[in-house]
Structure 1
Amino acid sequence: MFRFILIVITVVGFLILSIPILIAEWILGKFNPRARDISSLRIVQGVFRFILLLTGLKLTVIGEENVPKDQPVLYIPNHNSFFDILITYSRCPRLTGYVAKKSMEKIPLLSNWMKLLYCLFLDRDDIKAGLKTILKGIDQIKSGISMCIFPEGTRNKSGEKLLPFKEGSMKMAEKTGCPIIPVTLNNTANIFENQFPKIRPVHVVLEYGAPIDLKSLSKEERKHVGAYTRDIILATFEKNEALV
């Protein structure tokens, strides 16, 4: 419980104290947008790493060399915990926008940082609005910004290893030709969700799969690229269960 209280204080404290930082980042962006982007990225990554340090997390990372550093990609992770975002975002080598649920746009200050870092808010109940969000993600990838979307559509609380992947999650890669990076996380729900409200130090395994080049897939595989990617992540998840 002590770790939980420390993390809540850290998050709330950062959001409140970051108001002048947000103003400074806004001013910097008027003169040097690229410097603003990198500055904002590193600030948030630093906060995320500190929060993960407070959890006592032991993290094993496999395959990080599979992530290209010279081009934007589409990250496709499985999703079991709030901490999936902190773990993966803290390791992004370049500017990356995450696709989040629409309700997060209403959270003061947090949504300001998310928008600053090119995160998008997806309304899954509004097909037309959802399409606009995906089109915006496509534009961002074309401009050099990586994107990350959780293809299960929500945190997996079913007890199953993976929920079905939504094929629409892959559109940003299909329309831009960027590589898909399968991201597999093992044991993240045991940090917090499985013993709410306690936070426990656990061993998490994060593995980046080889980039998926859609042009190299067969016609059938491209037609069901969500299922294809899910099979890769499921196999990796099962392989890494023995490591945690």
Structure 2
Amino acid sequence: MFFLGMLFTLWIGVSLGLTFLTHMYEYWIILWVFLGLIAGIIFDILFALIFIEIGARTNPKSKFKVFVLRNALKLAFMFYHIHVTSEGLENVPYNTPFVMYCNHKSMMDPAAIYIEINRIVSAIGKKSLWGFWPMNHICKCFGALPMDRDNDRQAVKDMLVAIKAVKEGMPMIIFPEGGIKSRDVEEMVSLRAGAYKLAMKAEAPIIPVAIMGSSEIAKKKRYQRKDIHIIFHKMITKEEYQDKNTTEVGTFVESLINEDIRKYEDK
């Protein structure tokens, strides 16, 4: 969308310059090209801000909004030379709510998953992301839900809201490490058992997700290509975990994710 707007207004600037200023010096045409470029950038920024504002107020299950957001993310990843591949997409059900538990090494992780799965999905993020504009509107635009890690009482309330959303049919992405704990290794290095209450209380299937390569994103240079690979593990049904507690489920999911990461790194 950004590049289309920029090219469109650039074309207008060039056309006007050639039409009305051909009798003048060449630097006037260069000026029109420059003004067209600036106008294109301003147009795209305004369009993005308006879309974010409207998107924050509309239904997170809107298929049109999801289509626009997914393609905007694809364009952003292309611009920053981030290439995403995946395997196991057949393990992601289309009509069943689920909870994805993933290792977390970069702020790009939820966006990479959002691009790869062809369905509506929400996510849980740290509450501080909702504390400033436009990040709070971007989170609302994606239908994300806040989780207060510093206030146990509020965290319980936030978890109940997320459980209700899953029960009502909204798939959810959560990073059970409780933030980015280490970028030195791809594996999960921390376990917050309480995060698994989301799936267990909602009686939803669990999909372990291993993300490789995103730990290098923060270190990459602007034009350096980076690859992210995602493995969607086979779904764990309610019947498979219903006799376990949250710590046992968390340990099991963590072992599956780390095993997938080690197998991928050994290839």
| TM category, shorter | 0.7 to 0.9
Question: Is the CA contact 1:180–1:213 (under 8 Å) kept in the aligned structure 2?
Answer: yes
- In structure 2, which of residues 61, 66, 74 is the aligned counterpart of residue 41 of structure 1? 66
**1:14–1:157: structure 2 CA closer, same or farther, 3 Å change rule?**
farther
Shift of 1:183: 0.7
Any idea what SS the aligned residue of 2:66 has? helix
Shift of 1:204: 2.3
Any idea what SS the aligned residue of 2:62 has? helix
Residue aligning to 2:24: none
Residue aligning to 1:50: 75
Are residues 1:90 and 2:115 paired? yes
Residue aligning to 1:18: 48
Letter in 2 for 1:18: A
- In structure 2, which of residues 147, 152, 169 is the aligned counterpart of residue 122 of structure 1? 147
Are residues 1:173 and 2:203 paired? no
Q: Unaligned regions of 5+ residues in structure 1, if any?
A: 1-11
CA distance in 1, matches of 2:45, 2:152: 32
Residue aligning to 1:107: 132
Any idea what SS the aligned residue of 1:204 has? strand
Any idea what SS the aligned residue of 1:151 has? coil
Percent identity over the alignment is 21
**1:19–1:242: structure 2 CA closer, same or farther, 3 Å change rule?**
same
Question: Is the CA contact 2:53–2:137 (under 8 Å) kept in the aligned structure 1?
Answer: no
Question: Is the CA contact 2:208–2:257 (under 8 Å) kept in the aligned structure 1?
Answer: yes
Shift of 1:98: 1.0
Any idea what SS the aligned residue of 2:116 has? coil
Name the TM-score, length of structure 2 as normaliser. Answer: 0.75
Are residues 1:60 and 2:85 paired? yes
Name the TM-score, length of structure 1 as normaliser. Answer: 0.82
CA distance in 2, matches of 1:13, 1:157: 39
CA distance in 1, matches of 2:132, 2:158: 19
Shift of 1:14: 6.2
Any idea what SS the aligned residue of 2:100 has? strand
Any idea what SS the aligned residue of 1:219 has? coil
Any idea what SS the aligned residue of 1:99 has? strand
**1:163–1:96: structure 2 CA closer, same or farther, 3 Å change rule?**
same
- In structure 2, which of residues 88, 94, 98 is the aligned counterpart of residue 69 of structure 1? 94
CA distance in 2, matches of 1:109, 1:194: 25
**1:158–1:147: structure 2 CA closer, same or farther, 3 Å change rule?**
same
* Greater relative contact order, per chain length (Cα 8 Å cut-off, separation 6+): 1
Are residues 1:219 and 2:243 paired? yes
**1:86–1:116: structure 2 CA closer, same or farther, 3 Å change rule?**
closer
CA distance in 2, matches of 1:229, 1:141: 19
Question: Is the CA contact 1:214–1:222 (under 8 Å) kept in the aligned structure 2?
Answer: no
- In structure 2, which of residues 164, 176, 183 is the aligned counterpart of residue 151 of structure 1? 176
Question: Is the CA contact 2:124–2:172 (under 8 Å) kept in the aligned structure 1?
Answer: yes
Letter in 1 for 2:237: D
Are residues 1:164 and 2:190 paired? yes
Aligned residues: 225
Shift of 1:198: 4.4
Question: Is the CA contact 1:221–1:228 (under 8 Å) kept in the aligned structure 2?
Answer: no
Residue aligning to 1:6: none
Letter in 1 for 2:231: E
Any idea what SS the aligned residue of 1:156 has? coil
Residue aligning to 1:131: 156
Letter in 2 for 1:213: T
Q: Unaligned regions of 5+ residues in structure 2, if any?
A: 1-41
Shift of 1:176: 1.4
CA distance in 1, matches of 2:211, 2:98: 18
